[in-house]
Amino acid sequence: MKLAANDHAMLQRQLEAVARAVEELLLSGLTTASAATRETFEVTFREASRLRLLRLASTLRAANEEIGRFVNKQPEFSGKRMSFFLNRAWLLARGLLRALANKDEAEWDRLVWTQPAIPVPRLEVVTLGVGKKVAKGSFCAFEFRLRRVGRAVADVPSRLVWSCVFPLKADVEIPPEGFLQMPQKQKFKALTFLEGRSVVLTQVMMTVDASGCGRVSLTDNSTVTQGEVFTDWAAFSNWSPEPLHERVRQYEPSPFDLEIELQDEVVLQNWSIQERLPDPRDGQLIYPVSAGPLNFEATVAAAADGQALDNGLNVLREQTDQARPPLFGLLHFERCQFILQPLSVLKETGPEYLTIATDKIDRAAILKTLKF
């Protein structure tokens, strides 16, 4: 709980404001949500981000987005998401206020849920799959699922993740993949991770989550350079469910948990896919997928950002079971179902990233639109 006196007082005021805003919404109904309510959430989101209280920040951002969807009568609005994130925002605000008042370091650390970061001088990685999320008029984000290659590094797991987020203007229509061509602060393009070569990272920070996956963060001194063409993709086509089974067996749920926080990476061999279900669910399209005795619901965003994945799964559905390469994705559990987020198929020549549209992007037009 290492906060400067000014930060301590400011955070305390803003946490009180968030808790009161949630309580007023519950007492008077969501129809009373106003610009002032959203501004309260936005101000606290910015301060929480500045103070690296990322769990609180992400919760406030998600709650604010859902309020905006409700107020603007957007079809993507989800009452389930709204209820969860408002509840989580209130619990975090009241819990952190109590921890501040009692100077309870253990409770603060439990609620903040920040893993210790360790410096890593050098990593060499390849990309197995990419997650993509687009919040229209707010942001688009890409999450690169990586594997460490080359020489082993002490205390660094083989499974790694790096993500990047780009703000979106409400009045600007840009294909999300266009942002992959935009230069990062470290003078590289995110597209570098998708070109079939290894990528060398230096001077990065890393945290390790409960599943043993390392999350990589870049610093001002980090460098990202392209390595050699990578060919040993077959090394990543095997998967055992035992570690995930053990995590689930030991898992103790809490009111703060999202279903996807227990997610893990999977690789499915000899899998089959059926025709898409007729009715979307919670803004998602559903494809039944089977692999041996296991049955999954593969989800695809019903909005435009899910079009590339929807097209890719339809192409795969038309192939014979024997012709389909191993399927790489993320698995979590929801409503007694295996929920699968397909990310790529692992061909002998390298991954085919199902979530990334391959349409040619006019970088000059994007730069002009963004008015850089």
What's the pLDDT tens digit per position in 308-347? 999 999 999 999 878 899 999 999 988 788 999 999 999 9
Q: In this model, does residue 371 exceed pLDDT 70?
A: no
Tell me if the domain spanning 234-353 has CATH number 2.40.50. yes
Q: Which of 55-64, 238-247, 340-349 has the highest mean pLDDT?
A: 340-349
Pick 40 or 268 by higher pLDDT: 268
Ranges 168-177, 246-255, 264-273: which has the least confidence: 168-177
Average pLDDT, the chain: 87
pLDDT score, position 15: 92
Percent of the chain with pLDDT over 90: 45
pLDDT above 50 (res 280):
yes
* pLDDT: which is higher, 56 or 75: 56
For residues 176-186, average pLDDT: 89
What distance in Å separates the CA atoms of residue 162 and residue 144, rounded to the nearest whole number?
Answer: 5
- Determine the Cα–Cα distance for residues 141 and 131; give it in Å rounded to an integer: 8
Report the pLDDT value the prediction gives residue 40, as an integer from 0 to 100. Answer: 86
If one compares 157 and 359, the residue with the highest pLDDT of the two is 157
- Which residue intervals of the chain bear CATH 1.20.120? 5-112
Q: Is the pLDDT of residue 123 over 90?
A: yes
Looking at per-residue pLDDT, the higher value among 195 and 153 belongs to 195
CATH 2.40.50, the chain: domain bounds: 118-231+361-370, 234-353
Per-residue pLDDT, 97: 93
- CATH number for 5-112 (one of 1.10.287, 1.10.8, 1.20.120, 2.40.128): it is 1.20.120
CB-facing half-sphere around the CA of 137: CA atoms within 13 A: 10
Q: What is residue 309's predicted lDDT score, i.e. its pLDDT?
A: 96
Out of 48-52, 93-97, 176-180, 278-282, the most confident range is 93-97
pLDDT category of residue 39 using cuts at 50, 70 and 90: confident
Enter the tokens of residue 68: 């905006």
How many angstroms separate the CA atoms of 202 and 207, rounded?
Answer: 15
- Cα 223 to Cα 202: distance, rounded to the nearest angstrom: 5
Predicted pLDDT of residue 110: 84
Nearest to 180 by CA among 350, 343, 347, 360: 360
Residue 372: pLDDT above 50? no
Backbone angles phi, psi at 370, to 5 degrees: -75, -15
pLDDT of residue 364: 61
Helix (H) or strand (E) holding 337: strand 337-347
Report the C-alpha gap between 29 and 27 in whole angstroms.
6
**pTM for this model (two decimals):** 0.83
pLDDT at 273: 95
Assess whether pLDDT exceeds 90 at residue 47.
no
Tokens of 185: 């602060």
What is the C-alpha separation between 90 and 283, in angstroms, rounded? 25
The number of CA neighbours under 13 Å toward the Cβ of 291 is: 19
Does the structure show a pLDDT above 50 at 14?
yes
CATH class of 118-231+361-370: mainly beta
Q: Which residue in 347, 367, 29, 22 sits closest to 179, CA to CA? A: 367
Going by the DSSP 8-state scheme, the letter that residue 138 receives in this structure is T
Tens digit of each residue's pLDDT (9 = 90 or more) over 190-232: 999 999 999 999 999 999 887 889 999 999 999 999 999 999 9
Mean pLDDT score, 283-295 = 92
